[in-house]
Amino acid sequence: MTRKDFPPDFIWGTATASYQIEGADSEAGKGPSIWTAFSHAPGKIYQGHTGDLACDHYHRYKEDVSLLASLGANAYRFSISWPRLFPEGRGARNQKGFDFYARLIDVLIANGIQPFITLYHWDLPLELQKSIGGWESRDITAYFGDYAEAVFSSYGDRVKNWITLNEPFCSSHLSYLFGEHAPGKSDLKESFAVAHNLLRSHGEAVRRFRSTIKDGTVGLSNVSQWVEPASDSPEDGEAAKLLNQFFNDWFYVTPLKGEYPVDFSQRLDKIGAMPEIQPEDMELIMEPVDFWGVNYYSRIIAKADPKSEFGYNTVPGDLERTAMGWEIYPKGLQLFLERAYREYGEKPLYITENGMAEDDELEEGSVHDKKRTIYLRDHFDAASKAMNNSVDLKGYFVWSLMDNFEWAHGYSKRFGLIYTDYENNQRRIPKDSYYWFRDFLRR
Ligand code: IFM
């Protein structure tokens, strides 16, 4: 398999997110985010790590763009930090923040790299959390819309591809149900209310996009798991359907059809956890997207369990795992892309994240991350098979350009093509997988 197995205009890039790489968290007028507060709260993050400095990308963005250019990437997906532009989420603008992204965009374009910008990758301005409860409040939608519009008006002349939200599943359920992410709450009903407000805000951003930008595309990036039943039994089949609705369909089918997936909704209804849907909410949520962003890492297996709240549980599979403990299943990428294309409206797809954490070690200036290289090769192959089966896949972003702040895991998990040497002033050291990807792109 070589680059020639993909169309000539195929997008090849890497992805990152603001809080995970930028650092300069309280510099140049930036306001704190919910992750600033969460990472500084005792006991929330591995060994008390924070994103205060992260990869120091804020100061080293030119070096990072040079590394992208040497890789041969023709695109780069990054997110904008809302509190860097609006320190309190609304009201006063921070011009230095706007200037930073303008410089980043310009240097990318000068190097022939198209920016793909995500508006929200989890770093909500802390002030909005404190004053209105962040995503818990319906009022967030208008504020997110205003922020989105300010971004579109500032950069829309140069940036053509946009993503509203990254993985609303995580910013609702990981943050409000499982409590692992900021703001760290555990309340089922609230997590679905938050998911509803995230989807409404996504719709609002799409609406603002259509009224501000004349040429360009906008989509939504979802964490996407290939769901399998534990056996051929009808009960496990039903379990897989429910898990699919909870994990995947909730954030793909709802914006497509304006209706929450029926079976899972019925379960939620029974326990009084369905979000309140007001007239016109669904019309807003359904604002049509131009593409779906698929963030694929692994599969999950569902087994019927009449005693559990939703009628199923997940059970471990027996495939090799990454350092995150996620099973390595390239075939799942092909199957997911095929299902997504078929069931989510035959829209163009991008893989907006794919990659793996490995226990990388620096040995005499090199990192021999063989597993990651094989992982990427096999997932590229799976993507190309999906395309051969008629899936309209337009691009592939490897997660991540460099090792970075992996949320609750701090810096203990390394996903990068480039090793970040946290002990030595965040020195960048391209790993073997970086050179493999570079050669793949050159060939
Ligand atoms: O690092 C995260 C990213 O922020 C969102 N998607 C999954 C990645 C790996 O866990």
Q: Does residue 284 have its Cβ closer than 6 Å to ligand 1?
A: no
The pLDDT of residue 186 is 98
**Token representation of residue 240:** 């897989």
Residue 166 Cα: closest atom of ligand 1 = 5
Q: Is 76 in the pocket of ligand 1 (CB under 6 A)?
A: no
Q: Which atom of ligand 1 is nearest to the CA of 223?
A: 6
Q: Which residue is catalytic, options 167, 190, 287, 358?
A: 167
Residue among 408, 417, 421 nearest 122 (CA): 408
SS3 13: strand
Domains annotated on the chain, with CATH: 3-442 (3.20.20.80)
What residue owns the CA closest to ligand 1's atom 4? 17
Does ligand 1 have an atom closer than 6 angstroms to the CB of 352? no
403 lines ligand 1 (CB under 6 A): no
- What is the pairing mode between strands 349-353 and 312-315? unpaired
User: Going residue by residue through the chain (443 aa), what tens digit of pLDDT does each one get?
Assistant: 899 999 999 999 999 999 999 999 999 999 999 999 999 999 999 999 999 999 999 999 999 999 999 999 999 999 999 999 999 999 999 999 999 999 999 999 999 999 999 999 999 999 999 999 999 999 999 999 999 999 999 999 999 999 999 999 999 999 999 999 999 999 999 999 999 999 999 999 999 999 999 999 999 999 999 999 999 999 999 999 999 999 999 999 999 999 999 999 999 999 999 999 999 999 999 999 999 999 999 999 999 999 999 999 999 999 999 999 999 999 999 999 999 999 999 999 999 999 999 999 999 999 999 999 999 999 999 999 999 999 999 999 999 999 999 999 999 999 999 999 999 999 999 999 999 999 999 98
Distance 7 CA to ligand 1 centre (A): 27
Measured CA angle at 162 (ends 160, 164), to 5 deg: 160
Q: 163, 115 in Cβ contact below 8 A?
A: no
- Which atom in ligand 1 lies closest to the alpha carbon of residue 406? 1
Tell me whether residue 167 is one of the annotated catalytic residues.
yes
The residue whose CA is least distant from atom 10 of ligand 1 is: 406
Q: Hunting for tokens 């996504």 — which residue is that?
A: 202
224 burial via Cβ count (<10 Å: 0-12, 13-18, 19+): buried
Establish whether residue 406 lines the binding site of ligand 1, counting it when its CB lies within 6 angstroms of any ligand atom.
yes
Q: Which residues contact 298 (CB under 8 A, 6 or more apart)?
A: 225, 226, 322, 326, 327, 328, 329, 332
Contact between 294 and 336 (Cβ < 8 Å): yes
> How do the residues of the chain divide into helix, strand and coil, expressed in percent and rounded to 5?
45, 20, 35
For residue 353 and ligand 1, the question of a CB distance below 6 A is answered with: yes
pLDDT in the model for residue 57: 99
Four-CA torsion 395, 331, 173, 151, nearest 10 degrees: 0
**Does pTM top 0.95 for this prediction?**
yes
- Copy the structure tokens of residue 118: 């995500």
Q: Give dist(CA 83, CA 264) in Å, integer.
A: 35
* Distance, CA of 176 to CA of 261 (rounded, Å): 20
State residue 443's pLDDT score.
84
Q: How far is the CA of 415 from the centre of ligand 1 (A)?
A: 9
CA of 233 to the centre of ligand 1 (A): 33
Instruction: Give the residue among 259, 395, 401, 399 at the shortest CA–CA distance from 337.
Output: 395
Residue 204 CB–ligand 1 contact under 6 Å: no
**Confidence at residue 1, expressed as pLDDT on a 0 to 100 scale:** 85
Tell me how far the alpha carbon of residue 406 lies from the centroid of ligand 1, in angstroms: 7
Return the ligand 1 atom nearest residue 407 CA. 1
| CB of 354 shorter than 6 A to ligand 1 | no
- For ligand 1, atom 2, the nearest C-alpha belongs to 406
Q: What phi and psi, each to the nearest 5 degrees, are found at residue 286?
A: -85, 5
Answer yes or no: 276 catalytic: no
Instruction: Give the β-pairing of 114-120 and 75-79.
Output: parallel
123 lines ligand 1 (CB under 6 A): no
Ligand 1 atom with the smallest distance to the CA of 353 is: 6
Two structure tokens written together for 153: 């008006």
Residues 6+ apart with CB under 8 A from 408: 44, 45, 46, 180, 181
